Amino acid sequence: MRKTPLLATIAIGIAASLALAGCSGASSSSSAGTDASIAVGSLYEPVNLDNTAGGGQGVTEALNGNVYEGLFKLTDDGKVEPLLATKYTTSADGLTYTFTLRDGVKFHSGKALTSESVKTSIERVLANDSQSARKSQLAVISGIQTPDDKTVVISLKSRSISLPYNLSYVWIYGPGTTNYKTAEDGTGPYTLGTWKRGSSLSLERWNGYWGTKAKNKEVVYDYFTDASALSNALLTNQVDIVTSIQSPDSLTQFEGNKNYTISNGKSTTKELLAFNDKVAPFDNAEVRKAVYSAIDTKKLLSSIWGKYGTLIGSMVPPSDPWYEDLTKVNPYDVTLAKKELAAAGLPNGFTFTLDTPTYDPHPAVAEFLKSELAKVGITVNINSISADQWYTKVFKNHDFTATLQEHVNDRDVVWYGNPDFYWGYDNPQVTAWVNEAEQSTTTAEQTAKLKLVNEQIAKDAASAWLYLYPQIVVASSSVSGYPVNGLNSQFYAYDITKK
């Protein structure tokens, strides 16, 4: 989940209002070729540098694959490839995986990669205080053995067809620091340069890297608090590339301009109206369906993103293998919404509080929902909360009735199989299907089961999936080699070149 500012819907406007959050001043006029410094503009500054400690989307964008690596890598097109593991075998019963580590890999501290570092890194994800997005999926691990420095043996409580995929989320941490929130010790092609909080974070090419060296000397992430200021920085050559344009109106500044390239890639970020399915009135599926059908999601998407973005009818984006178009399951239909409210015993509507993160697009979305739901007699009280408050109040303590949040991960429909997840959806059949999917022996079996999950959570309106974000990358035409899809917020920078 993202926990940093995401979207400002205002267009590029009055120059005096374009306030940077301490931009470092890196310029796209820096050296070209292998000595190039690539200036990346982003709204997603890390909360901290540890992806098991709530570092947020920003730490993934800057450090995943650049500073830290895993046993496996999730490519920009969603494929899982070996990285620090060169191969693995699986026992006949599917309960034991044996991984062979790559030779010649060192951490930035100079220590060699060993099986013990892999073991301790996985254990960090599984720790009680871990905030890793894949902690629950990796809880299937029952033990980790290290028979020698190059071999890791993972034992499972039950089959896990997604284990290699889930391990792509696990950064392998070296022993060179004890505070991973402010320092790093990875194996990636860059080391951490300087992190100026509220301003920028730099990565420096590491010549001791085991693989192909980074094609640029330095990458500087310049952080902005305003989407229009971010776009303006690209127009004025303060940055070379913007990882995700958040103000659609600003695209007119770049369209038809040979100095810029616009890439409309694939996103996995879903904007959700998440109900607390254990709290009245949202413990009633009829009420949830009524709310969903009272919202003109097409109009909402257009108001936020213009011609960009996609409507979805479940938690599954088109890039997931088990995607189905379920947008007609809960159609926009005010008359239907009123009938469903009446069937639920609430013909005159009801009142509820919507806990709304203060960063965009949530305030605008909340106001839209308030207006829409008023048409069917539902009163929405908007309670604005910070990202940190959201994590504690909603995600951790489950102290809410409904909330807005964007979920960035792919293949995260499985969270609806966990009754203890923050939204409290509890359908034993869905939980069984999720478990059966994970224990499948073939991807075809897994896909079939997860399609059943998709269909059921849509029928139950477990949440209201409002839209799928677009992934719009805009860059100076002088740079190339950057990723264009927004899978899990990752942004591999090592292949970026500048003329």
- Give the number of other Cβ atoms within 10 Å of residue 422's Cβ: 22
- Give the number of other Cβ atoms within 10 Å of residue 163's Cβ: 21
User: What is the rounded distance in angstroms from the CA atom of residue 190 to the CA atom of residue 186?
Assistant: 9
**E strand or H helix that includes residue 38:** strand 37-42
CATH number of 21-67+188-267+472-498: 3.40.190.10
Phi, psi of 107 (to 5 degrees): -80, 165
Query: DSSP character for 396?
Result: I
Query: DSSP character for 421?
Result: S
Residue 147 has which token pair? 């028979």
Ramachandran quadrant class, 56 (left: phi over 0; alpha: psi -120 to 50; beta: rest): left
Asked if 221 contacts 198 with a C-beta cutoff of 8 angstroms, the reply is: no
Task: Note the pLDDT of residue 56.
Answer: 83
| Residue among 434, 422, 378 at smallest CA distance from 398 | 422
Task: Note the pLDDT of residue 30.
Answer: 56
Residue 218 has which token pair? 């330095």
Per-residue burial over 103-130, b = 16 or more CB atoms within 10 Å of its CB, e = otherwise: eebebbeeeebbbebbbbbbebbbeeeb
21-67+188-267+472-498 and 72-167 in the same fold: no
Between the alpha carbon of residue 215 and those of residues 38, 59, 326, 453, 496, the distances in Å are 10, 21, 43, 43, 6
User: What is the rounded distance in angstroms from the CA atom of residue 230 to the CA atom of residue 266?
Assistant: 21
Burial of 58 (C-beta count, 10 Å sphere; 0-12/13-18/19+): buried
Query: DSSP character for 208?
Result: T
Task: Note the pLDDT of residue 433.
Answer: 98
Listed by start position, the domains of the chain span 21-67+188-267+472-498, 72-167, 270-468
Q: What is residue 85's three-state secondary structure?
A: strand
User: What is the rounded distance in angstroms from the CA atom of residue 246 to the CA atom of residue 472?
Assistant: 8
Query: The whole model's pTM is what?
Result: 0.82
Between the alpha carbon of residue 223 and those of residues 242, 276, 278, 369, 466, the distances in Å are 10, 33, 38, 30, 27
Task: Name residue, tokens 């374009």.
Answer: 18
Tell me the one-letter amino acid at 129.
D
User: What is the rounded distance in angstroms from the CA atom of residue 203 to the CA atom of residue 493?
Assistant: 10
pLDDT in tens, the chain (499 residues): 433 333 332 222 222 233 333 344 444 445 788 899 999 999 889 989 999 998 888 999 999 999 999 999 998 888 899 999 999 999 999 999 999 999 999 999 999 999 999 999 999 999 999 988 789 889 999 999 999 999 999 999 999 999 999 999 999 999 999 999 999 999 999 999 999 999 999 999 999 999 999 999 999 999 998 878 898 999 999 999 999 887 777 788 899 999 999 998 888 999 999 999 999 999 999 999 999 999 999 999 999 998 899 999 999 999 899 999 999 999 999 999 999 999 999 999 999 999 999 888 899 999 999 999 999 999 999 999 998 899 899 999 999 999 999 998 889 999 999 999 999 999 999 999 999 999 999 999 999 999 999 999 999 999 999 999 998 999 999 999 999 987 778 899 999 999 9
Task: Name residue, tokens 């050559």.
Answer: 237
Burial of 441 (C-beta count, 10 Å sphere; 0-12/13-18/19+): exposed
* Angle CA 73–121–135, to nearest 5: 75
Ramachandran quadrant class, 104 (left: phi over 0; alpha: psi -120 to 50; beta: rest): left
**E strand or H helix that includes residue 62:** helix 56-63
User: What is the rounded distance in angstroms from the CA atom of residue 273 to the CA atom of residue 365?
Assistant: 9
Between the alpha carbon of residue 126 and those of residues 46, 85, 408, 412, the distances in Å are 22, 20, 21, 18
User: What is the rounded distance in angstroms from the CA atom of residue 271 to the CA atom of residue 325?
Assistant: 16
User: What is the rounded distance in angstroms from the CA atom of residue 56 to the CA atom of residue 43?
Assistant: 12
CATH number of 270-468: 3.10.105.10
CATH number of 72-167: 3.90.76.10
Query: DSSP character for 150?
Result: T
User: What is the rounded distance in angstroms from the CA atom of residue 265 to the CA atom of residue 384?
Assistant: 31
| Residue among 499, 495, 489 at smallest CA distance from 44 | 489
Of the chain, the end-to-end C-alpha distance in Å amounts to: 35
- Give the number of other Cβ atoms within 10 Å of residue 87's Cβ: 10
User: What is the rounded distance in angstroms from the CA atom of residue 65 to the CA atom of residue 163?
Assistant: 19
Q: For the chain, what is the largest distance between any 2 Cα atoms, rounded to a whole number of angstroms?
A: 69
User: What is the rounded distance in angstroms from the CA atom of residue 389 to the CA atom of residue 397?
Assistant: 10
Asked if 64 contacts 51 with a C-beta cutoff of 8 angstroms, the reply is: yes
Q: What is the 3-state secondary structure (H, E, C) of 335-363?
A: HHHHHHHHHCCCCCCCEEEEEEECCCCHH
Asked if 28 contacts 476 with a C-beta cutoff of 8 angstroms, the reply is: yes
